[in-house]
Structures are given as structure tokens and as C-alpha cells.
Amino acid sequence: MADFTQTTHRDTYSAISPTTPANSQAGRTVLVTGGTAGIGFAIAQAFVQAGSARVLITGRRTDVLTKAVKDLEAMASDTVVTGKNCDMVSTSSIEDLWQNIRNEGIEVDTLVLNAGLLEVHNILGDFSTSAAMYTVNVINNLLMTDLFIKHTDKKQKKLLFISSAQASLVPPPPGQGVYGAVKMAGNSMFQNLAFERPAEELTIISIHPGAVLTEAARTAGFDENTIAWDEVALPGDYCVWASSGAAEFLHGRFVHAAWDVEELMQRKEELEADPALLRVGIDGSKSMDMDSVFGSLREKAKKRGSTSKTQ
């Protein structure tokens, strides 16, 4: 698959750096699911470096969560770092998380859906494991999103979905058919939600973080010599940039963290003119004018979304 920009990156760079003033997160609160290690921890770290007012991270294991909070606090100056136990397999755990956040009077501005379930060497025919992966990566991410949207009527909220390039690989890597399918489902779900919500109210972007040698990757059998790996700071810092106002034109799109953001911004008009570009779909013949058929329904859906009550 060809890259969308001529320039690509394997490590962070100035345009996405959390210390660049244009990427400042001052006064904002971010919640990163699965923020205790790997890419999730790098994302949380980047938001700390960007001067967020508060960074919340979730995790299942209390000891790991506690250590991650301490490590982030050691990097923070004015940022409040908070750890929240949450098991993404459990709907009640997710509901308890948001109830706890409300009870503490915290208003979340940015939600980064990083936590997921990956079973290596799995096949779709293994129903129990496949169903669990769909539950965590799709259904419960939708629940997290629903509770985030209803959490506050505050404007200029951001939602980042950490996806994977495996969503678009044909054929999928051996044993990764389920993972690619659930990430594709997530991409489709969030791009469709973006058609219901204006970017100035809730900016939604799906992101392929790159190939990072995380603990999960090592567990899957990979090591330093498998491929040329990306630095974990790349997706971490990219998420900070994606949460800035400069990235609103990517609302509802699927992007790669490796793509140069300055080149992306140069193609803003091209993206705005083509609603299918960087979105999930089939590039085939058009048998009808979809806007004339569904245009009025789409506008009604947007109005319903923008007038939903905070709960």
C-alpha cells in the first residue's frame, strides 16, 4: 500500500512534538485507555509533555497501573496524573469508570481509545475468542464513546481511535484475520459517527500507530530483527497533534502516524473535496446519486446528534 505523503517518519519530529506551542494541550483533560504500557503509555506521556491539565489512564492490573502513574508523575510539572482501574472486557467496569469520573467532577476533553484485545494466531472460526475480540475492540469501544459523548456538552472534544494498518491488508497476515476485521469494523464505526457529529463539536480520527515493538508484539513472537520498527514516540506525539485544531480537517478519516502532517495539511482542500478519501469503502461504480437519496436523512442524523442531552 502506497503512502499518502511522500515524506514518512519512523520517529517524532518538530511538527508533532508535544513541546511545540501549536500542539499545547494546556487546560485540557485527556483519558487514555490502556495507558499503562507500550503505545498507550507513550500517548499519555506525550499529553503530559504537551502541558495537559490532567491525564487519566486506565488499566486492568493495579500494580502496573500504579507504576505507570508514578512514572508519568515524575515527568509532569503541572499536569495531574490519575490512574483508573477499568477492564475493557466488562461493560459494568466501563460504566463504573465514567460514574467515578463524574463523581469527581472531572470533564474529559479528549478520549484516546487505545486499549484492545489481540489474540495472536487466531482464526475467525474460533468463535469464543473472535467474539471476545469484537466485544472489546468494537462494542465496548462504542460504549466508551457513548458515555464520553454524554459525559458533558462541552464543545471541541476529540476522539482518537488507535486502529491498525491490518484493517486494510488483503490478504491478512496469517492468524490475524480477526484482528484486521475488528479494526476495520472500528474504522467504519467511527467514520460513520463522524458523519453524525460536526468536527467543531467532536473531532474523530482513526490512527494507525505504526509498527512498534511493544510487549504485546514480543509476546506474539516478534523481536528487534523481525522488521524495521518505529519509535514509540511517533504515535504518542502524533496523537497530541491529532488533538490540535490543525487536525480537524481529518474528521472521520483513517490516517497513518508515519505520514508527514505538513504534507497532509497541504492536501486539505483535496480531502475536503473527496468525502471517500482516507475512509473505509469500495472504490467502484456509482449507480445513484447518494447525496440526493440520503442527503436529507444525513442532515436529520446530524441534528439528532447535536441535540442529544447530556446524561
Rounded Cα distance, 246 and 243, in Å: 8
Q: How many percent of the chain have pLDDT more than 90?
A: 67
Within-domain flag for 191: yes
Rounded Cα distance, 157 and 310, in Å: 14
Quote the number of domains for the chain. Answer: 1
Rounded Cα distance, 22 and 13, in Å: 14
Residues 113 and 141 sit within 8 Å (Cβ to Cβ): yes
pLDDT at 32 over 90: yes
For residue 224, the domain's CATH number is 3.40.50.720
pLDDT at 308 over 90: no
Within-domain flag for 33: yes
Tens of pLDDT, residue by residue over 164-216, are 887 777 766 766 778 888 899 999 999 999 999 999 999 999 999 998 887 77
Residues 265 and 246 sit within 8 Å (Cβ to Cβ): yes
For the chain, the farthest-separated pair of C-alpha atoms sits apart, in whole angstroms, at: 58
Within-domain flag for 5: no
In which band, very low, low, confident or very high, does the pLDDT at 311 lie, cut at 50, 70 and 90? Answer: very low
Rounded Cα distance, 16 and 244, in Å: 10
Rounded Cα distance, 229 and 10, in Å: 8
Within-domain flag for 9: no
Residue corresponding to grid cell 490543525: 246
Within-domain flag for 290: yes
Within-domain flag for 223: yes
Range of the domain at 290: 14-306
| Cβ partners under 8 Å of residue 5, min gap 6 | 259, 260, 263, 264, 267
Within-domain flag for 4: no
Within-domain flag for 61: yes
pLDDT of residue 83: 98
